[in-house]
Structure 1
Amino acid sequence: MADVARSAGVSQKTVSRVVNGEPHVSPAVRRRVLREIERLGFLPNESARALVTRRSRRIGIVTARTSYFGPASVLRDLEHAARAAGYFVSVVHADEQDGDEAARAVAHLVSQGVDAIAVCAPCGPVDPAALVPASLPVLVLRCPEDQGPDAAPQSVERRRITVGNDDIGGAAQATEYLLSLGHRTVHHIAGPLAWASSGHRLRGWRSALRAAGADEPPPAHGDWSPASGYHAARELLGRTGPFAFTALFAANDQMAVGAIHAIERSGRRVPDDISVVGFDDIPEAAYLSVPLSTIRQDFAETARRAIRRLIPAITGEGTPAPDARTPTELVARASTAPPPSTPPRST
């Protein structure tokens, strides 16, 4: 730091202010110091800087042990957004069936002196966000419950921020699209009950059916995997009752892929007999033998919104921004069509 100060013709205190992002440094001086930092290859001592600023510039992330497209995309883009803002991340994976493991994950990150904790996926029967000390900002990556004008104001003391893709709106969009094609109702394969995204998509599906006055068939449930989608679709195909099965909305693309396989194994065709819509728009969705209609999520924009809201909560500068939902987009492909003129009879 002394070498940088001498080379730039400023005091060490000025170099410290530039390195730590503090105010009261003119743009010209800041540029000169940064130029000398780059020329000399100066690397700040992060431990020493944390002692001075009382900030580690690290964000802890608690997430489930899963490699599925949605959670993996959230984690990847959140790390990119944090790095772009000058922060690094520490990730701890926890078994979603073990509440004690979630508690240990939070305790570990707190002991590491992170500036905030983000929760990316359910990690057990206990909400990890509820275990974070009240003085530490918490970022919850999921669809906010309510973002309307009458929503309750965010607690500044708790400093809890919720940002996520609009799972509710996206599920409603998928269901409304199938109904607009002429299907009398839409069956649903929901995800695991422990996941907030599964509950939100279930709610969006129901709200669209009720708004249209359509019948509401009992949903089947999967675990996000193609195998579970296959078995759930076989369950729906085997049900007897008044609901003609001509349209299906699956809570993610992997389950939709499994469901299509089950439908075709039953002797029916997609979309001639049954239309299918997924959720996520995985990279393979456009290249299946029947390209999959789906709901596309903008994970990168959600991550940017989340970090933009989290940093003021860390620094204490500015007022807390409201929670935010990132809009989703319907991508219509070949797996959806109007229903057959004579709907297949439930068997």
Structure 2
Amino acid sequence: MAEVAAHAGVSHQTVSRVLNDSPLVKEDTRVKVLAAIEEMGYRRNNAARMLATNRSGRIGMISAHLALHGPSMIAVSVQEAGHDAGYDVSLVGVSDFAPESLQGAVDRLLDEAVEALVVAVAHRTATERALSLDLSVPVVLVQGVSAGQPMAAGIDQEAGAGVATEHLLDLGHRHVAHVTGPTDWVEAGQRRDGWRQAHEDRGLLPGPELPGDWSARSGYEAGLRIADDPEVTAVFAANDAMALGVLRALHERGVDVPGRVSVVGFDDVPEAAFYWPGLTTVSQEFSVLGRSAVDLTLRALGGEVEPATELVRPALVVRGSTGPAAPA
């Protein structure tokens, strides 16, 4: 930094102010310092900076099931929001929910001197363990959370499922079937609750409930049962992969979509618009979720005690897989 200052003809303090985006630096001076930095190939010594400020500028993140669309997009959104806020984000993936796995991930990130932790694990037991962590840094949850929960940012899964089911009921379908997610996932339960509540609000009994595990194969197996049930005219699948399996099974059985059965998914994966027919689905605002999680983190680091925020409300994207119920 001293060499940059000498090259630019300014003081060491001026270089420091430029690097920290201080408004006290004149624009022509800032340009001169940045030109010297680029010419000399200067890189900030983060280890020295951490020793001087006692801050690492790093947020740790623990995530599971990164092969699935939702968890992977949450991880991306938190990393992007963290970078926009001037923080590096260290991501550690866990493959199971044993106590030692979660603790190992926590220890690894604390060894990197992270200033806070963001935990994205929707499995019910893992969420409970995350809530019980007693650490010297703030912990923010971004999956498996409820409305009003402090230190938690999330997407309103129940509202999203409600919007999906109401769309089908508005089209004249009376008993919407549901392909569930795994029973030990908090968000699967919330989506199931939204499906049931939408029927209850209209005084209707829900259609059959079919077990799934987020995979297209489980959706396909559920779809074969739906194809054989003449009472079912609509189905809400708890994610798009299972909705794809449903569509495949209905196609193989010669069931017209949406002529006889309408199908709605959840996630709005990039491929959803290219399913045949294009999939009506619930879009989760992952970028908003990432910003919300990082905002909570910064508020906690700023001294706010257990800050809270509203859940992000998802939106329905209507495509060709849904249509009016056929006349009885």
TM-score by length of 1: 0.84
Q: Mark the runs of 5 or more structure 1 residues left unpaired by the alignment.
A: 155-160, 343-347
Residues 110-169 of structure 1: CA deviation (Å, up to 9, x unaligned): 12211111112336833353354443111211364124xxxx7x4xxxxxx211222121
Off by >6 Å, runs of 4+ in structure 1: none
Change (3 A) 1:5 1:321: farther
The letter of the residue matching 2:251 is E
Other-structure match for 2:51: 51
Other-structure match for 1:219: 209
CA RMSD of the aligned region, Å? 2.7
Change (3 A) 1:263 1:99: farther
Which residue of the other structure, out of 172, 189, 203, is the alignment partner of 1:199? 189
Secondary structure in structure 2 of the residue aligned to 1:330: strand
CA distance in 1, matches of 2:65, 2:18: 39
CA distance in 2, matches of 1:5, 1:16: 9
Secondary structure in structure 2 of the residue aligned to 1:177: helix
Other-structure match for 2:326: 340
2:285 matched to 1:298? Answer: yes
Per the TM alignment, residue 318 of structure 1 is displaced from its structure 2 partner at its CA by 6.3
Per the TM alignment, residue 37 of structure 1 is displaced from its structure 2 partner at its CA by 3.8
2:231 matched to 1:244? Answer: yes
Task: Please tell me whether the aligned partners of residues 14 and 25 of structure 2 are also in contact (alpha carbons under 8 angstroms).
Answer: no
Instruction: Spell out the pairing of 1:26-105 with structure 2 (5 A cutoff).
Output: 26-28=24-26, 31=30, 36-105=36-105
2:87 matched to 1:106? Answer: no
Other-structure match for 2:274: 287
Per the TM alignment, residue 292 of structure 1 is displaced from its structure 2 partner at its CA by 0.8
Secondary structure in structure 2 of the residue aligned to 1:109: helix
Q: Give the aligned length.
A: 325
2:267 matched to 1:266? Answer: no
Secondary structure in structure 2 of the residue aligned to 1:126: helix
Residues 65-115 of structure 1: CA deviation (Å, up to 9, x unaligned): 331211111111221221222211211111234342122111211122111
CA distance in 2, matches of 1:251, 1:328: 14
Task: Please tell me whether the aligned partners of residues 20 and 53 of structure 1 are also in contact (alpha carbons under 8 angstroms).
Answer: no
Task: Please tell me whether the aligned partners of residues 143 and 162 of structure 1 are also in contact (alpha carbons under 8 angstroms).
Answer: no
Secondary structure in structure 1 of the residue aligned to 2:187: helix
Residues 234-259 of structure 1: CA deviation (Å, up to 9, x unaligned): 345567xxx93111101110000001
The letter of the residue matching 2:114 is V
CA distance in 2, matches of 1:92, 1:199: 26
* Percent identity (aligned): 38
CA distance in 2, matches of 1:196, 1:335: 27
CA distance in 1, matches of 2:212, 2:146: 23
Other-structure match for 1:146: 147
Per the TM alignment, residue 216 of structure 1 is displaced from its structure 2 partner at its CA by 2.6
CA distance in 2, matches of 1:15, 1:165: 42
Q: Mark the runs of 5 or more structure 2 residues left unpaired by the alignment.
A: none
Change (3 A) 1:77 1:190: same
CA distance in 1, matches of 2:193, 2:140: 23
Deviates more, 1:294-303 or 1:125-134: 125-134
Task: Please tell me whether the aligned partners of residues 120 and 143 of structure 2 are also in contact (alpha carbons under 8 angstroms).
Answer: yes
Task: Please tell me whether the aligned partners of residues 190 and 250 of structure 1 are also in contact (alpha carbons under 8 angstroms).
Answer: yes
CA distance in 2, matches of 1:39, 1:312: 37
Deviates more, 1:95-104 or 1:329-338: 95-104
Which residue of the other structure, out of 302, 314, 325, is the alignment partner of 1:328? 314
Task: Please tell me whether the aligned partners of residues 260 and 276 of structure 1 are also in contact (alpha carbons under 8 angstroms).
Answer: yes
Other-structure match for 1:275: 262
